[in-house]
A = this chain, B = another copy of it.
Amino acid sequence: MADLEKALEKEVSRRSFLKTTGIGLGVAAGALVFGTGMVGAQAQTGTVAEAPLPYVELDPEEARLRGHAGYYQAGCSFGAFYAIASMLRDKVGGPYNQIPLRMLGYGRGGFANWGTICGALNGASAAINLVCPDADTNKLVAELLGWYTRFPFPSAEATAIGVAGGFKYTTKQYPKIELVTSVSDSPLCHASNAKWIAKSGFLLPSPERKERCARLTGDVAAKAVELLNAWKAGKFVATFKVDDQTAGCLSCHAEDQEGKMACVSCHEPH
């Protein structure tokens, strides 16, 4: 993972963060002094404060590239967390340098391949929580999940990058092709993968399916950055609403269950 960090930080970033800020290149080599000149950075000794960490506007397109690359290193959950947290290391440094990025790897394949929550949502949500107060975290995470359930992955942006060979990993093993899109109707890895596999015909172990999830990871990281940028600018507005059928269910079942997942994806209407 140390080599991973070095490789990713050096190679993935095709944008100008590092040059612009003049920091970040040293991070990979462990040479950056903690909290160098960063507003809001916390004291190095003692215990980190239990408060949101400083956020600065990030580039969603850089997040898309890093999320894709991170997927091939340690999976979807790591990939999405790495994308956002590594950019915050570059631009803010300080406390972000002390959070092990590998910590979010467990979410891969919906928690150690159990197929529960999509790992990209897990990694991105952890990054959101790092910078937002709890109440805002709830709003942004809920919006991210809602958006995910209706978005046709992979995005047109990811497809364009992928076909053009613009991702870090575009060898034979990481196909440089257009992939069909699918809508999951669910935030769960299981449903997301099953629907895409059914539509594409590419099975779980195929390079095409992995590339689909790599692009999805980048897409989720990019969307999370868009939400965070809007929130930081005071312009975030939640738009997700459950569908009419689910709203109908919830009119009776608001208090005997927890959740916003579409009911009829598992239950028969009655």
Chain A residues within CB distance 8 Å of chain B: 1-2, 4-5, 27-28, 30-34, 44-51, 53, 74, 89, 95, 97-117, 121-122, 125-126, 128-130, 134, 137-139, 141-142, 145, 187-190, 193-194, 197-198, 203-205, 254-261, 265-266
Contacts and interface: CB of A to CB of B under 8 A. Distances in A.
Contacts of A121: 111
22 contacts: A4-B50, A5-B47, A30-B46, A48-B97, A48-B100, A98-B98, A100-B130, A102-B134, A106-B137, A109-B259, A110-B117, A111-B117, A112-B125, A112-B142, A113-B142, A113-B260, A115-B260, A116-B116, A190-B257, A190-B259, A194-B256, A197-B257
A126 B137 CA distance: 18
Contacts of A27: 47
Nearest to A192: B258
Contact of A112 (B5, B46, B98, B145): B145
Nearest to A266: B266
A116 B50 contact: no
Nearest to A193: B258
